[in-house]
Amino acid sequence: MPTAIVTGPPVPGSSLEGDLRSLGFDVRSAAGAAEAETLLAEVPGEERVALVDTRFVGHVHALRLGLTDPRFPLSAIPGAVTAQRSGRQALTRAMARENSATGQGAGNGTLVQGLPDRVTAALDTGVHRPGLGSLVAVVPADPQARNEARQAVAAVDEEAVRLRSAVKARDGFFTTFCVSPYSRHLARWCARRGLTPNQVTTASLLTALVAAGCAATGTRAGFVAAGVLLLGSFVLDCADGQLARYSLQYSTLGAWLDATFDRAKEYAFYAGLALGAARTGDDVWALALGAIILQSCRHVVDFSFAEARTGAAEGPAAALSDRLDRVGWTVWVRRMIVLPIGERWALIAVLTAATSPRVTFWVLLAGCAFAAAYTTAGRVLRSLRGGRAGDKAARALADLADGGPLSELLHRPWARGGAAAAALGAVLVTGSALVWGAGWQTVLAAVAYVICSAAAVGRPLTGRLDWLVPPLFRAAEYGTVLVLAADAEVNGALPAAYGLVSAVAYHHYDTVYRIRGDAGAPPRPLVRAIGGHEGRTLAVAVLAAVLTASGFTVALTALAVAVALVVLAESIRFWVAAHRGGAPAVHDEGEPA
């Protein structure tokens, strides 16, 4: 249980202690600095502790923002400071320095005024200071100032502020105007009933899976129900993040579940549409697989560029972008045309209910292709005028590249291919698969791809366009699997390829989430065990060449199951262990909804 140490003489009529208890704190009083230091030492090191001035006047939500956010080791607002386990030593040192500087030793019971603010100033490490907006958090010096502060508190609708802050600051048009106006009230309803964001996230997943099942029936009623349920799943998807912001229930496990389930919902729904189409005699598995390939490659472009964007905000392209962001209507147009998850799911839901799976996929592919071309072109222009990536960014890009044992074997420090080598390898292997299909030519092209892959990462990826290396690798691997499965022309090949790409894409997304959470990349033994991108691409090319079409389908299925089991088991183990081990809470806003 967290502990709040209120310092200074009691203030008549103050609700401070009651407010702190409502936030879950065990409240203790310290009349002087020495006593406060003693109480601080008595609190177990793994528990949160806060120092609060008895004269504090402000909103309860201001205290909540300042003292309960699990994402920050140290946090402070006027009149209060708090530390989690990782920040306890810094707080203890600051308290000792403050007492030593003011001459208030262990045996001194002198009354203290403003101790929390002085301790905050004495901290030797970074302190988070939440933006309070119109919320009040002050330490009045006299009765008149106290009365004015209380009037200021009464003049602000605290609950309205809290509801507004539950909505993501930067969101898509559909979510902002069509979902958030009511989903935030759903989030508050969940909070008042003790539901957690993870429970709402799970409900969103289950709703999407039911939607996929409805789509798989292949009937018009099933497609209509699927569209409605998909929109319902998205409302819950918005509500889980809003619930986390409303109640500050951030967690490492929650961030992972939210991001992972988004991908699982989308992939499951695509599969449901493909199964439903198959019931009517229409084979759209290639379109479904193309949709997840395009979406995954587009996401890795986003992730890679974000890691290497040092200096990318310079130049005329960035200046034009900044000017457009100052014109209201252009902001919403630009957010809509990149088809963020809200617009994308709304489009899928409406098309599913009103048209056929084939039409749905073709429109989705056209929209996503335009969005990908628009965003990638803009980022290339920025990069050409921007600076080079730093060492940390280069390490992240190397992890995103997902090179396996073959790249390690052929690694040569003098090789410097970068994006050019990656592009050459991708064109060779996918082009060969398109022209010759399964055969020795594609196997040779896959060998060339392995060599180009090793050359691409031979040196640190610090070039202006080296952030393109991971998405080029994703396009090459996924595209080769799609083309060779389609070339097999037997039932089951494309669904097996769909399963394989989904399993590998999960591994690549998991790598991103670990890097974003400062947890590092997946362990090298895992990457080696599943072959790396170049090893899997070569393996698929060889299997297609030496096996019959039906045998190739079985091999793809076995490979998909093996990769899925390995990466899921290690990923679940890692994230559960991180959550139980007290890893810093994460709330990654990720893709705009």
What's the confidence (pLDDT) of residue 106? Answer: 41
What's the confidence (pLDDT) of residue 475? Answer: 97
460 inside domain? yes
| Beta strands 3-7; 49-53: pairing state | parallel
In 3D space, the residue among 437, 441, 434 whose CA is nearest the CA of residue 549 turns out to be 437
Q: Which of 115, 145, 161 is the last residue of a domain?
A: 161
What's the confidence (pLDDT) of residue 111? Answer: 47
19 inside domain? yes
Contact 131, 123 (CB under 8 A): no
| Helix 493-516 / helix 469-488 crossing angle, nearest 10 deg | 170
Contact 278, 215 (CB under 8 A): no
What's the confidence (pLDDT) of residue 323? Answer: 56
281 inside domain? no
What's the confidence (pLDDT) of residue 312? Answer: 43
Length of the chain: 593
152 inside domain? yes
435 inside domain? yes
- What domain count does the chain have? 2
Q: Which of 94, 127, 161 is the last residue of a domain?
A: 161
What's the N-to-C CA distance of the chain in angstroms?
35
116 inside domain? yes
In angstroms, the CA 562 to CA 564 distance is 5
| Helix 316-324 / helix 328-337 crossing angle, nearest 10 deg | 110
Contacts of residue 336, Cβ cutoff 8 Å, sequence gap at least 6? 172, 173, 174, 343
What's the confidence (pLDDT) of residue 316? Answer: 54
Sign for the CA dihedral angle at 96, 100, 101, 102 comes to positive
Tokens of 309: 């964007």
Q: Which of 106, 136, 161 is the last residue of a domain?
A: 161
In angstroms, the CA 477 to CA 89 distance is 48
- Its domain, for residue 9, covers 3-161
User: Per DSSP, what are the bridge partners of residue 49?
Assistant: 3, 83
Contact 501, 451 (CB under 8 A): no
Tokens of 97: 């320095």
459 inside domain? yes
Q: In tens digits, what is the pLDDT along the chain, a chain of 593 residues? A: 899 999 988 888 899 999 999 999 999 999 888 899 999 999 998 899 999 999 999 999 999 999 999 999 999 999 999 999 989 999 999 999 888 876 654 444 444 678 999 999 999 888 999 999 999 999 998 999 999 999 999 999 999 999 999 998 888 889 999 999 999 999 999 999 999 999 999 999 999 999 999 999 999 999 999 999 999 999 999 999 999 999 999 988 888 999 999 999 999 999 999 999 999 999 999 999 999 999 999 999 999 998 887 544 455 555 555 555 555 667 788 888 889 999 999 999 999 999 999 999 999 999 999 999 999 998 998 888 877 888 889 999 999 999 999 999 988 766 678 899 999 999 999 999 999 999 999 999 999 999 999 999 988 999 999 999 999 999 999 999 999 999 999 999 999 999 999 999 999 999 999 998 888 889 999 999 999 999 999 999 999 999 999 999 999 999 999 999 999 999 999 998 888 876 666 555 545 44
What's the confidence (pLDDT) of residue 296? Answer: 95
CA 506 to chain centre: 13
354 inside domain? no
